[in-house]
Amino acid sequence: MSKLIWIFLALLSGAFLPIQAGLNTRMGKAAENAVAASLLSFVVGALGLIFYILLTRQSISWAGIKTAPAIAWTGGLLGAFYVTVIVLAFPRLGPGLTFGLVVAGQMVISLLLEHFNILVAAPQPINFMKILGVLLVIAGVIIIRKF
């Protein structure tokens, strides 16, 4: 696929996050349990992925999975933490502030991952313009919060 398609898909997935948060929040209210709503979100997502893998006949390297570093398994825990916090924060902070903070956190950590070449990120040194970009994102979050 061309880079343009990946840019579009990344934007689309970002656009889906507040929608997912709203839907998961509704499920949390219906279940009267935000953690249960997060679990249901993962179960439905897992079933969807299983269906997709079977439908597209994708192969899985079980031998490769066995050799994955232990830390690779924590991705699911981070996902569970993220979804649960979003379900809890979304109705309290609102979509704009919640996802402004999410994006600010993502930008800060992404710069550090790239700078220090962590987790297979391509090395990209931090420079003034990148720091300025993150500061502008944080300024945007502050503006959203104040107004």
Residue spans of the domains in the chain: they are 3-146
- State how far the alpha carbon of 87 is from the alpha carbons of 32, 63, 67, 94, 132, in Å: 12, 35, 34, 11, 30
What is the pLDDT, as a whole number, of residue 147? 84
Q: Is the pTM of this model over 0.75?
A: yes
Instruction: Output the six-digit token pair for 73.
Output: 């398994």
Q: With CA atoms as reference, report the closest residue to 102 among 13, 12, 18, 8.
A: 18
Under 8 Å between Cβ of 83 and 24: yes
| Arithmetic mean of pLDDT over the chain | 93
pLDDT at 5 over 90: yes
Buried b (16+ CB within 10 A) or exposed e, 36-68: ebbbbbeeeeeeeeeeeeeeeeeeeeeeeeeee
Please state, for a pLDDT cut of 90, what percent of the chain lies above it: 90
What is the pLDDT, as a whole number, of residue 117? 92
The position carrying tokens 């297979």 is: 120
Mean pLDDT, to the nearest integer, of 56-78?
Answer: 92
